[in-house]
Structure 1
Amino acid sequence: MKTLNLGILAHVDAGKTSLTERLLHAAGVIDEIGSVDDGSTLTDSLALERQRGITIKSAVVSFTVGDVTVNLIDTPGHPDFIAEVERALGVLDGAVLVLSAVEGVQAQTRVLMRTLQRLDIPTLLFVNKIDRAGAQYERVLRRIAEKLTPAAVPMGGVRELGTPAAAFTPHGPSDAGFASRLAEVLAEGDDELLAAYVEDETALSHDRLRSELAAQSRRGVVHPVFFGSAITGAGVEALTAGLTELLPAGEGDPDGPARGTVFKVERAPGGAKTAYVRMFSGTVRVRDRLLHGAGARSEGAEPAEGSEGKVTGIDVFERGGHVQSPSVAAGRIGRLRGLPGVRIGDTIGDAGAVREPAGERHHFAPPTLETVVTPCRDADRGPLHNALTQLAEQDPLIGLRQDELRGEVHVSLYGEVQKEVVQATLADEFGLDVTFRESTTICVERLDGPGSAAEIMHKEPNPFLATVGLRIEPAPPGSGVRYGLEVELGSMPYAFMRAVEDTVRQTLHEGIHGWEIPDCTVTMTHSGYSPRQSHAHAIFDKSMSSTGADFRQLTPLVVMDALKRAGTTVHEPMHHFRLEVPAETFGAVLPVLSRLRAVPQAPVTKGDAYLLEGEIPAARVHALEQQLPTLTSGEGVLECAFARYRPVVGGIPSRPRTDNDPLNRKDYLLRVVRRVAGA
């Protein structure tokens, strides 16, 4: 049996989860359609999802269409959870992008469509809510062609639009207008078809056009458009047929080397992890030993080291649920147990398959906000840290910073709604009541140039039995921290070498101004240690012999000295914005953009509206979102997505340090060793 791994995506409230329920009902998986408003849908299982009527975590559910098993992945629609969507996209064969026939093409719809096109994911469009008052047909098609893709092919017409009796009628072989439109669109993607079309448009048979439509749709060249209603079921039968005809089934060699990608991790009450894995090659069986790690991470994040685990159980998806299976093969999605160190984004498989092939690694946009999570009860500080650590394992794009000096935990997020999710999860799953401080923007530091420093053992002012020399150089954005040696690997014990590297990476989380330095090349230039020595009675003397602590405590001082010599510049996150406003409001919008430090490009006229694109500091996006409805009488459409980091203009922002402050040598030494060299 063939498998289709299908994603359902949409702007929030377009009816994505309702469509999922309707598809499951039509396939006989569920007897009664759940309601988003009542919190009774199959895929929204979290309490907060049911309360708010939004999807927060991706969910997988399966149904059968003919000889095809469809693994349907219901993804979040709210922009705060775009990282959850991006993780799911990497495992899809095809997607359905849901629009509303009333609201039409919305801001998040455009963001999702551009992402699908960038990743070459074949996509069908489903225009939902044709039974709602205010629903439109021709206008929505025009907006799709203007805003999403010109290669959109309407697959039918709508009767009694905007009424409860609205119905979708698929185009048939006798519909000349459909054949003409279809031939015109398909000819753009096939030279042979274009030649036949130019010679004699009427010579192209319906069967040939449908065959070419399926081929180009499976390649993501054209995008069929269906209309319907998830509530009444109108158009759903045609869409279901289109899934197997117009989207490609999962591929991969089940006899090849095992390789898959982890896109979701769940943790059972006892702590055991279950990894959701899309298999791209080979077959994984119960009791197989698998390497996992080195998968996709957020921009600048360190790759996880590969680790190994033994698969103790496998589930595959069938008819709305999951069932135990002895194996999961290429093209399918499975739930794997027995991999304790697995994380979202990991590649799993045989030894030679763990690292992703070139070009398959995706960088997710980093979170740009940070907040402090505070327990309502002081006794919950320890449990809070443990709970947040578990949440970060399930979502590696939520970063944690532990401030030991102040006893605080900092959490990085994508938006304010995520605060509510974290707060509700901590309360429901861990019994912890917490509050949040106001969110602040996360900046980074980049090196101005190279810098070197060294501390030599037995030479003032170095109080440690260790020699460490480091050279730090700038690296391209997104390259991460690269570490190398100019000293012989055997010049001192490996444990000391590892202590230096680990401490370098940890120290770079807080640069001169307190922000992370995500991209640089660090080279160890000097090394030295004092061998293990003992007194006459063979008692180990720590004061005469180097220990790992000497290297861990000395390295931050060397790193900071090198950073001072190199110099750093603080960069703030910038979002690319795309803003469409009515022409009559253009004059009122420009001064606001200027006050928010946005840098727009030259405007483009689009009918009776202006289109502006440019960059805006991430810290100012929320203010623009709040002011835009008033400025444009509710007609403005704003899309924003992380673009890059840019040097801060004006005052240099700093972040309070959470380490022992190696920038201040005297205080640092008093904290870590209770002594100051030369004192």
Structure 2
Amino acid sequence: MGKTLNLGVVAHADAGKTTLTEQILFRSGAIRRAGSVDEGTAVTDGMEIERSRGISVRTACASVQWKDCRINLIDAPGHADFLSEVERTLAVLDAAVLVISSVEGVQPQTRLLLEAIRRANLPCFLFFNKLDRAGSNWRKAFAQVEKECGTPCLSLTRAEREEEREAASVPLDFSSSDWEEAAVLASGDEVLLERLLSGEACDSRLWECLKDRVSRGELYPAVCGASKFGLGVPELLDGICRLLKEAEPLGEELCARVYKVEHDPALGKAAYVRLFAGEIRNRQTVDVVGKGGTGPEEAPAEKVTRVRAVEGRRFIDGECLAAGEIGVIYGMESVQAGDLLGKALSGLREYRLAEPLLLSRVEPELPEELPQLTAALRQLEDEDPALGCEWNREKQELWARLTGKLQIEVLEALLLQRWEIRARFGEPSVIYRETPASPAEGFESYTWPKPCWAEVRFLVEPLPRGAGFQYECLVSPGKLPYRYQTHVETAVPRALKQGIQGWQVTDLKVTLVDGGWHHIHTHPLDFFVATPMGLMNALRNAGSKLLEPVLKVELSGPQDYLGKAMGVLASRRAVFQPAELSGDSFRLEALVPAAEAMELPVDFAAATGGMGIYSSRFSHYQDCPEGLGASRGRVGPDPLDRAKFILAARSAMAGELP
């Protein structure tokens, strides 16, 4: 029986990722004719907006057979506005195929993906595309990748008639002395190097060493080609099957990750899963652990009502999914994309590429459709949790978190096509964060109205930028039982979603320094009520400092426009290094506050006469200068208004009481 490999295709937008996926399906016999992105016939672009715009918006999956390998193929979006889909795809892969244009070379999102792949030690194969295009220089792009990531690369093919319509990708002679020398150097094996220098044969040990290094993410095999014509595709598949090892199960217990969620009108919510250990059977009860493991007492258990396995481009009914397989399960109504099922085991890879930085109010054209719009956005949030929908009950307002303006166009199209709702997204504003300005304590004694009794005392301390959130409990179990300590620890991150100025609180340490309960009056959920009030009291005493998001921006274009490009950045509080000059073009990197970058793409395009290329990604949060930034109205009851908050909290939790 052959091995099963879970392979993902990723790239910078327009590098030819979907075209390569089509050719893999065609060459392996999964489809009769390769579709075209330009013609809207790509089989992996199943949504109307994908076919009309020529872009991938959602992850697509198919299975192919190549020689003795079964390859589960996942095609992820290429546009920067859909990086949340990419990060969930990377998290379920055995290896990635990174498509790079041999004309444009390493592009901004190529760098982002290379960095994420290298940090996670994910095995990676490089496909240098567009060999037939004018300006193609795949060896230059190859050298760029090695320089950017610091990981050795090994060519499996060479190019003939590059930049011509008759271009060809020719497999290298693996028995030649030149290739053997390059492979031995790439393997990093001292024994092989000694054999090479002494003239001994290296063949059998060489391929095992190469497989080990490739499977550990320490060596990137490379193929050049032209996916439009299928050039290099068989050589790529041969290299993958020969050099990539099948992943071992992470353990015995069930461990699976949901990488995609869809809503089927007939069957309900469909969860696309990759199993890392254990199995999922029809009618099995499965724990939904969540994205970070929210604690076993909170993990809902749901029954799987249907199991489907991937077969070509279709999913067929089955009874069981085993470790290493990809499939679709139904019946898990609480699940969201990115959730873990079963148990979080060591060995899982995690990625953080997407950071929503924009906040927009969403309104229906017809006010009476607001309930339907809310329900539709909740479904879309299951499919992409980064959307982070918020419903302000007091103001009857609906808000969504976004990564870019293209996402707005896609969401408007999805709402119209799937629910026939015409929606308007307001002008996006930047998502700030806040942090305590100084150390401070806060106290809450929730002992009235009875029955209740919960006392908490917190210490909040600011941490360096980028440190995130830390929690510590200094209260002994004799003073406060473990079950109530767990309630406090669970409630603190929830309370920090909105601080004094209405933004998420970060870069702080919260310490529970004291607590009290009563053996008669303490109710099971009292500490969920007391914790936000005590924590907000501490944050008010500490004072709040705004943090603003910063983008890492890359500008490139003809050297004649360098001065104008620097002028556009200088007016936006940008920090940048000297430009890199190559031939007649420049490349300039800068750190720009997101609030200053809203119109930067338009202004840069105007300054360069449309000849410049702009890209950006999230970098970090920094202190916001005094007088800049904006507070936000609170969503929901304010813990500092004790009477209203207690009433609202007790009413909301009335249905949860045992």
TM-score under structure 2 length normalisation: 0.86
Give, in whole Å, the separation in 1 of the partners of 2:596 and 2:583: 28
Residue 308 (1) aligns with residue 301 (2): yes
- Aligned 1:497-646 pairs, distance under 5 A: 506-518=494-506, 520-521=509-510, 523=512, 525=514, 558-577=534-553, 588-600=564-576, 615-628=591-604, 640-646=616-622
Alignment-mate amino acid for residue 378 of structure 2: T
Give, in whole Å, the separation in 2 of the partners of 1:161 and 1:246: 26
Give, in whole Å, the separation in 1 of the partners of 2:45 and 2:559: 41
Which residue of 2 is the match for residue 537 of structure 1?
A: none
Which piece of structure 1 moves more, 264-273 or 384-393? 264-273
1:371 deviation in Å? 0.8
Contact 2:354 2:403 in 1 (8 A): no
SS of the residue corresponding to residue 654 of structure 1 reads: coil
Give, in whole Å, the separation in 2 of the partners of 1:4 and 1:571: 43
- Aligned 1:48-197 pairs, distance under 5 A: 48-147=49-148, 151-173=152-174, 175-186=176-187, 189-197=188-196
Residue 421 (1) aligns with residue 410 (2): yes
Question: 1:187-238 deviations in whole A, cap 9, x for unaligned?
Answer: xx222223334x34x5455666555444433332222221222222222221
1:344–1:667 distance in 2 versus 1, CA, 3 Å: closer
Which residue of 1 is the match for residue 654 of structure 2?
A: none
1:479 deviation in Å? 5.0
Question: 1:11-33 deviations in whole A, cap 9, x for unaligned?
Answer: 11111111111111111111121
- Aligned 1:401-480 pairs, distance under 5 A: 401-454=390-443, 456=445, 468-474=455-461, 477=466, 480=469
SS of the residue corresponding to residue 15 of structure 2 reads: coil
1:530–1:23 distance in 2 versus 1, CA, 3 Å: closer
- Aligned 1:29-40 pairs, distance under 5 A: 29-40=30-41
1:378–1:464 distance in 2 versus 1, CA, 3 Å: farther
Which residue of 2 is the match for residue 23 of structure 1?
A: 24
Alignment-mate amino acid for residue 394 of structure 2: L
1:173–1:89 distance in 2 versus 1, CA, 3 Å: closer
Alignment-mate amino acid for residue 80 of structure 1: D
Question: 1:479-527 deviations in whole A, cap 9, x for unaligned?
Answer: 54748584979989989996x8887655433212121114542638455
Which residue of 2 is the match for residue 655 of structure 1?
A: 632
Contact 1:286 1:312 in 2 (8 A): yes
Give, in whole Å, the separation in 2 of the partners of 1:458 and 1:140: 67
TM-score under structure 1 length normalisation: 0.83
Structure 2 unmatched ranges of 5 or more: 651-658
Contact 1:173 1:206 in 2 (8 A): no
Give, in whole Å, the separation in 2 of the partners of 1:25 and 1:425: 29
Give, in whole Å, the separation in 2 of the partners of 1:304 and 1:274: 25
1:602 deviation in Å? 6.7
Contact 2:392 2:398 in 1 (8 A): yes
Contact 2:471 2:489 in 1 (8 A): no
Give, in whole Å, the separation in 1 of the partners of 2:445 and 2:116: 52
Which piece of structure 1 moves more, 46-55 or 159-168? 159-168
Give, in whole Å, the separation in 2 of the partners of 1:57 and 1:552: 37
Identity over aligned residues, as a percent?
32
Give, in whole Å, the separation in 1 of the partners of 2:350 and 2:108: 27
Contact 1:450 1:471 in 2 (8 A): no
Give, in whole Å, the separation in 2 of the partners of 1:138 and 1:341: 49
1:547–1:121 distance in 2 versus 1, CA, 3 Å: closer
Contact 2:289 2:295 in 1 (8 A): no
Give, in whole Å, the separation in 2 of the partners of 1:493 and 1:553: 17
Which residue of 1 is the match for residue 335 of structure 2?
A: 342
SS of the residue corresponding to residue 42 of structure 1 reads: coil
1:249–1:626 distance in 2 versus 1, CA, 3 Å: farther
Structure 1 unmatched ranges of 5 or more: 533-545, 674-679
Contact 2:362 2:400 in 1 (8 A): yes
Which residue of 2 is the match for residue 231 of structure 1?
A: 228
Residue 279 (1) aligns with residue 275 (2): yes
1:346 deviation in Å? 2.2
For the pair shown, which has the larger CA radius of gyration, 1 or 2? 1
1:146–1:506 distance in 2 versus 1, CA, 3 Å: closer
SS of the residue corresponding to residue 194 of structure 1 reads: helix
1:355 deviation in Å? 3.0
1:158 deviation in Å? 2.3
1:609 deviation in Å? 7.3
Alignment-mate amino acid for residue 540 of structure 2: K
Which residue of 2 is the match for residue 535 of structure 1?
A: none
1:4–1:21 distance in 2 versus 1, CA, 3 Å: same
Which residue of 1 is the match for residue 241 of structure 2?
A: 244
SS of the residue corresponding to residue 228 of structure 2 reads: coil
